Structure 1
């Protein structure tokens, strides 16, 4: 009777703070790797689009400068072709002062409304040696890049 019974609870395994910190650092590291991977992927998409946009603009401007307006017309987007007929486009391009040369100075690609769009900055040289800087809009249509807008 006179004994006091001391109550004790069973020992719980201790979870050290260090384990929590390690797991937290691991989770944070995985998130950072994911964000970096997504950033690299976005840069690659944009950089890969620069090449086709430049190539499309270069071919279009080369054909305009050499007077091959039928081939240049084929590189126009639907919207631009709806405003011009083949003959009308050819007449417009041949109107003096004609384009005799060009230099692509910058290419940029961005996404607007979920659709990629390119802008090509070009220095156009005309008859008589006068030059001017123009922006050439390029859009993706049916899997191909096309010039869209009035570049001249």
Structure 2
């Protein structure tokens, strides 16, 4: 007659279950830390980009107000430059109501499928004294921000 020790088999099962649960918990911990790190990196990247996007919007508007149509044209994105020739852009820039002052109020940056995009909101003061609020979409092209769409 064989004797079975009470609790002999049952003692192994909780240890195995504990081991599996420990491995699962460690895996979840690594995933959570990785997700938090990726989120922090993305937040920092977008936050740093907003300053550069603001600088690019202000440089574009400075070129516009000073009458440097060539400089302003060079700050446009490829899509906008394909729609407007340099001559058309310069002609449009010289037609009233020209912009005499500007103030960039806000810049928001977002990542869209790995492509950084921004929207700069600016108050434009026309020669006539009319103040116009304008949103300028921007895209990051390499290491530079460029204005897209109709900047007028």
TM-score w.r.t. the length of structure 1 is 0.81
Query: Using the alignment, how far apart are the partners of 1:33 and 1:115 within structure 2?
Result: 25
**Structure 1 segments unaligned to the other structure (5+ residues):** none
Structure 2 residue matching 1:129: 3-state secondary structure: coil
Q: How many residues end up aligned between the 2 structures?
A: 148
- Structure with max Cα Rg: 1
**Structure 2 segments unaligned to the other structure (5+ residues):** none
Per-residue CA distance 1:109-133 (angstroms, 9 max, x = gap) = 1233442211111111111321111
2:4 pairs with one of 3, 8, 22:
8
TM-score w.r.t. the length of structure 2 is 0.81
Q: Which residue of 1 aligns with 2:84?
A: 84
8 Å CA contact 2:103–2:123 kept in 1: the answer is yes
The question of 1:149 aligning with 2:122 is answered: no
Q: CA deviation at 1:136?
A: 0.5
Q: Which residue of 2 aligns with 1:60?
A: 60
Query: Using the alignment, how far apart are the partners of 2:24 and 2:88 within structure 1?
Result: 66
Structure 2 residue matching 1:149: 3-state secondary structure: coil
Per-residue CA distance 1:23-81 (angstroms, 9 max, x = gap) = 66555443332222121111012112212211111100011011111111111112211
